[in-house]
Chains A and B, each alone.
Chain A
Amino acid sequence: MKALGKIAAASALALYPALALSDYKLNLQAPQTPIAERIFDLHTLILVICVVIFVGVFAVMFYSVFRHRKSLGYKAAHFHENTTVEVLWTVLPFFILIGMAYPATKVVIDMKDTSAADVTIKATGLQWAWSYDYLNEGISFTSALSTPQAQIMGLEPKGPNYLLEVDNPVVVPVGKKIRILTTAADVIHAWWVPALGAKQDAIPGFIRDTWFRVEKPGIYRGQCAELCGKDHGFMPIVVDARSPEDYAKWVQEQKAKTAKKADQAAPGNRG
């Protein structure tokens, strides 16, 4: 049985990279942070358990559907209770749930730990764009959708990053803990980048936070995830993760051209 377990585990592991290939877009996006990976694996675990139970239960139902038919002359049995079976199918699911809750608990605790961040960026949701303040570097800018209206209205062919491109992306260093503070200037928005495994509501008058640590340089795209008015679907997020050296260069460039605008800054800006 141990060998069987090892084979099962090995095949599952071998499948993971395949599952991560989102070519067919049947699964979560390929995870780019340790938290996103753990979420991906947690989802796989739960999905497998659910599929196994679902197939088991409905195999029984379909067996009845095909074999226990009046048209085949099958006569109904008369039982209508069985305490043992009832207890079993109340208690067993309870233990299965504990099996899911235990790994999930660890991920919840780790997701909530935003301490000891290397870079802290405040993301303010606006109707309908994001504004970013790098608190320790003194950089601020607004990041708005850069897809031309002509593409949206069908007057031009759509680019490959249609609706997921902005004028000023959020640049971060790879391998460092990035803490995102969220707030909003008007209504509730939400800051979400699926590949990074981070989603946090941006609530006017309050500061919340989330964090991520990107493993590889690259461009990661997300969207506002809380209905915030007519252009809710048109205020994406782009994270540009660069090597620490490239990030430092970018910071220097930004400091040089930062003009702090008195705009619809979030109330928390007054500290």
Chain B
Amino acid sequence: MEAAHAHGHTQEHGHDHPTGLMRWVATTNHKDIGTMYLWFSFAMFMVGGVMALIIRTELFQPGLQVVNPDFFNQMTTLHGLIMVFGAIMPAFVGFANWQIPMMIGAADMAFPRMNNMSFWLLPPAGLLLVISLFVPGGGAAAGWTLYAPLTIQLGMGMDLTIFAVHILGLSSIMGSINIITTILNMRAPGMTLFKMPMFVWTWLITAYLLIAVMPVLAGAVTMILTDRHFGTAFFNAAGGGDPVLYQHIFWFFGHPEVYIIAIPAFGVVSQVIPAFSRKPLFGYVSMVYATASIAVLSFMVWAHHMYTVGMPTAAQLYYMYATMLIAVPTGVKVFNWVATMWKGSLSFETPMLFACGFLFLFTLGGFSGLVLSITPVDIQLHDTYYVVAHFHYVMVAGALFSAFAGIYFWLPKWTGKMYNETLGKLHFWLTMIFFNVTFFVQHFLGLAGMPRRIPDYALQFADFNKISSIGAFGFGLTQLLFLYIVVQTIRSGEKAPEKPWEGADTLEWTHLPTPAPYHSFETAPVVK
């Protein structure tokens, strides 16, 4: 069967590798689009990072020194929105674009032109979020969760945010349609679903989650928009509505959303750990089923974000049991990764360091999630820094570390150059240390009673806040080192060998040269 041939080159007749600005604007090549997603993600990571540093600067000491409380809330809100929607999600879509076609032996994605649009929707959305800070009233200041009725009160920054969220959702939905169609239809002959690399499985599952829940988020923010401007009362009791309705709708999106972030991260780690253990992934079939179970369960647990709203006893108990259950398939995955390493022949180049860092710290974050799932304990910890610690462990030490692992792993295949291993290891260790300095102490702050989203705090919280802020600056500065490493690799890195990673065995490593050609697998390989 002929591999599908990308049709996106009508503008460049006879031009196999276009140049200049228009190359990037009009590209339909999955590698170019993947590259744009990754650079966009990094730029947003820096913007969101600066916002985090503003937050941590204000929190360095008790008292208000740097910003006013309203602007502080704008920072917490935009830091969250930018990091979730602008940085971490596009990063993994970037990996999806680069890797899925190559890993299944396809020439490109199923819908290359729609792929281009999926990317180009992102910069305007990002711009809208940033611009919202500068309109009268400033940016939305309600936390990334945008609860009503607070959001009904806010200024026009909220409307810009709603618009941005719609655009981001559209991008994700189109991207997911592309991913599912590609994976289901364009695998090379012989590559059955259960022969696909784990990374491809994780994206297949994640794409379904995205299609299911992004429209729900769109619904939630549209209901806020109409409550704000068009006389509806969805979230206003005086008009017959209920503020808690917003929370249900939002978290029905919001819980699967965190798995949308985590599951591709699991996929990357499932490629890196076997490669550096020189041993196949342990329990491949269980890993597929565990990932699918996590995805299915993720739809059934949303109200564990709402234990204090006043839901009936039976509901609190149901959500507690259902949430605790997610620990089972997640545990299976952790055990399988450790079993992959067990009696492997391990080496610890930078990708593996980040993958092991992921394994250790994501699991720690998972345990704080288990603590939070227990309703009575959550009553004490809800809306405190314990929750902030939990989600930064799973999203930064989890998803971000996995993204770093993937970049270091695949940079040679993408660019044909090796990154500097010493600098890569330095990036890892500094990130590891500063991350923990920043966030481990936040567990204690939450336990001790410090609420979230406050610009100033009581004196007993001072010491750990100071430590956390110092860690945050270290962490932020370290990421500039990462930028240097990547740029230096692209411009003047040492030429990479055909197979830099001995244990890597997926199609892009076994069947393609290094660097991968602009058009790869124009004829599909046959997979045994």
CB-nearest residue of chain B relative to A194? Answer: B449
Task: Tell me, rounded to whole Å, the shortest Cβ–Cβ distance linking A8 to chain B.
Answer: 21
Cβ of A163 and Cβ of B346 under 8 Å apart?
no
Given the complex of chains A and B, what is the CA–CA distance between A75 and B344 in angstroms? 7
B128 close to A (CB within 8 Å) = no
Cβ of B328 and Cβ of A97 under 8 Å apart?
yes
A77-B279, A158-B63, A205-B236 given; A61·B359 CB < 8 A: yes
Residues of B within 8 A of A61 (CB): 338, 341, 356, 359-360
Closest 6 CB pairs of A and B: A205-B237, A233-B454, A208-B310, A76-B345, A77-B343, A80-B280
A169 close to B (CB within 8 Å) = no
Per-residue interface assignment for chain B, residues 305 to 347, with 1 indicating a CB less than 8 Å from any chain A CB and 0 otherwise: 0001110110011001100110110011011001111111111
A61-B360, A64-B346, A68-B345 given; A76·B375 CB < 8 A: no
Within 8 A of A (CB), among B277-319: 277-286, 308-310, 312-313, 316-317
Pick the most buried of A69, A81, A154: most chain B CB atoms within 10 A of its CB: A81
Interface size on B, residues (CB 8 A): 93
Q: Which listed residue, B321, B335, B375, touches A57 by the CB 8 Å rule?
A: B335
Cβ of A97 and Cβ of B324 under 8 Å apart?
yes
CB-nearest residue of chain A relative to B377? Answer: A43
Given the complex of chains A and B, what is the CA–CA distance between A158 and B138 in angstroms? 30
Can you list 17 A-B contacts (CB < 8 A)?
A: A25-B461, A27-B444, A47-B371, A50-B371, A61-B338, A64-B344, A77-B343, A79-B282, A80-B282, A192-B451, A194-B380, A203-B309, A225-B384, A227-B143, A229-B150, A230-B141, A267-B238
Q: Which listed residue, A111, A188, A209, touches B379 by the CB 8 Å rule?
A: A111
Given the complex of chains A and B, what is the CA–CA distance between A95 and B447 in angstroms? 27
A104-B375, A203-B310 given; A29·B448 CB < 8 A: yes
Beyond contacts A42-B374, A188-B150, A200-B308: 19 other A-B pairs, Cβ-Cβ < 8 A, are A26-B444, A27-B447, A27-B448, A28-B380, A39-B376, A54-B364, A68-B346, A80-B281, A80-B340, A108-B376, A112-B316, A153-B64, A162-B458, A162-B459, A187-B153, A199-B380, A206-B237, A227-B150, A231-B69
Residues of B within 8 A of A151 (CB): 63
B172 close to A (CB within 8 Å) = no
Within 8 A of B (CB), among A65-106: 65, 68-71, 74-82, 85-86, 89-90, 93-94, 97, 100-101, 104-105
Residues of A within 8 A of B444 (CB): 25-27
Cβ of B379 and Cβ of A39 under 8 Å apart?
yes
CB-nearest residue of chain A relative to B446? Answer: A28
Per-residue interface assignment for chain A, residues 212 to 232, with 1 indicating a CB less than 8 Å from any chain B CB and 0 otherwise: 000000000111111111111
CB-nearest residue of chain B relative to A35? Answer: B376
Cβ of A46 and Cβ of B379 under 8 Å apart?
no
Given the complex of chains A and B, what is the CA–CA distance between A97 and B370 in angstroms? 9
Q: Which listed residue, B73, B341, B449, B460, touches A68 by the CB 8 Å rule?
A: B341
Interface size on A, residues (CB 8 A): 93
Given the complex of chains A and B, what is the CA–CA distance between A204 and B310 in angstroms? 13
Given the complex of chains A and B, what is the CA–CA distance between A105 and B149 in angstroms? 32
Given the complex of chains A and B, what is the CA–CA distance between A194 and B335 in angstroms? 36
Residues of B within 8 A of A39 (CB): 376-377, 379-380
Task: Tell me, rounded to whole Å, the shortest Cβ–Cβ distance linking A143 to chain B.
Answer: 17
A201 close to B (CB within 8 Å) = yes
A3 close to B (CB within 8 Å) = no
Residues of A within 8 A of B187 (CB): none
Given the complex of chains A and B, what is the CA–CA distance between A157 and B243 in angstroms? 40
Task: Tell me, rounded to whole Å, the shortest Cβ–Cβ distance linking A166 to chain B.
Answer: 13
B518 close to A (CB within 8 Å) = no
B180 close to A (CB within 8 Å) = no
Cβ of B382 and Cβ of A107 under 8 Å apart?
no
Task: Tell me, rounded to whole Å, the shortest Cβ–Cβ distance linking B505 to chain A.
Answer: 12
Interface of A is mostly: mixed
Given the complex of chains A and B, what is the CA–CA distance between A85 and B342 in angstroms? 14
Residues of A within 8 A of B321 (CB): 101
Pick the most buried of B62, B238, B375, B449: most chain A CB atoms within 10 A of its CB: B449
Residues of B within 8 A of A54 (CB): 363-364, 367
Task: Tell me, rounded to whole Å, the shortest Cβ–Cβ distance linking A63 to chain B.
Answer: 8
Per-residue interface assignment for chain A, residues 165 to 195, with 1 indicating a CB less than 8 Å from any chain B CB and 0 otherwise: 0000000000000000000001110101010
Residues of B within 8 A of A89 (CB): 331-332, 335
Given the complex of chains A and B, what is the CA–CA distance between A230 and B324 in angstroms? 35
Cβ of B456 and Cβ of A152 under 8 Å apart?
yes
Residues of A within 8 A of B248 (CB): none
A164 close to B (CB within 8 Å) = yes
Cβ of B338 and Cβ of A60 under 8 Å apart?
yes
Residues of A within 8 A of B408 (CB): none
Cβ of B320 and Cβ of A75 under 8 Å apart?
no
Task: Tell me, rounded to whole Å, the shortest Cβ–Cβ distance linking A90 to chain B.
Answer: 6
Cβ of A201 and Cβ of B308 under 8 Å apart?
yes
CB-nearest residue of chain A relative to B360? Answer: A58
Within 8 A of A (CB), among B30-73: 62-65, 68-70, 73
Task: Tell me, rounded to whole Å, the shortest Cβ–Cβ distance linking B388 to chain A.
Answer: 13
B142 close to A (CB within 8 Å) = yes
Residues of B within 8 A of A29 (CB): 448-449
CB-nearest residue of chain B relative to A205? Answer: B237
Q: Which listed residue, A53, A64, A97, A203, touches B244 by the CB 8 Å rule?
A: A203
Given the complex of chains A and B, what is the CA–CA distance between A200 and B380 in angstroms? 10
Task: Tell me, rounded to whole Å, the shortest Cβ–Cβ distance linking B118 to chain A.
Answer: 32
CB-nearest residue of chain B relative to A43? Answer: B377
Per-residue interface assignment for chain A, residues 17 to 37, with 1 indicating a CB less than 8 Å from any chain B CB and 0 otherwise: 000001001111100000100
Within 8 A of A (CB), among B126-156: 141-143, 147, 149-150, 153
Cβ of B371 and Cβ of A57 under 8 Å apart?
no
